Amino acid sequence: MNYQDPQPYNKRALEKAFASRDVKSICEALVSVALNDSDWRWAQNKCLEFLRNEIPDVRGLAATCLGHIARIHRQLDKEKVLIALREHLDDNIISGQIADALDDIDMFLR
């Protein structure tokens, strides 16, 4: 994947992207939510939902976005998120992204 500045979307467009099976659309929506949405709890819950996705790119990006939310909003349901992230530490495909998200949470949510 190549980096692009995330475009802000309205919730209807985001939900449409999330409901699609298109990996690129889902990933763009996740990044947009993490970086632009003022509702940190809604953004967090979307990321947690996609952390369970069958597609590794989506799971990994969901973890990364949880770290972004911690950094930007300085808020998360910390226990809920830590439990969810730790459940994926053995997922070798995304374990680096999980570790990075855990580091971000530790750094920004003291």
22-43 confidence digits (pLDDT tens): 999 999 999 999 999 999 999 9
pLDDT tens per residue, range 52-97: 999 999 999 999 999 999 999 999 999 999 999 999 999 999 999 9
Domain boundaries, given as residue ranges, for the chain: 11-108
Instruction: Report the C-alpha gap between 6 and 79 in whole angstroms.
Output: 28
Give the Å distances, CA to CA, from 24 to 4, 82, 91. 12, 26, 21
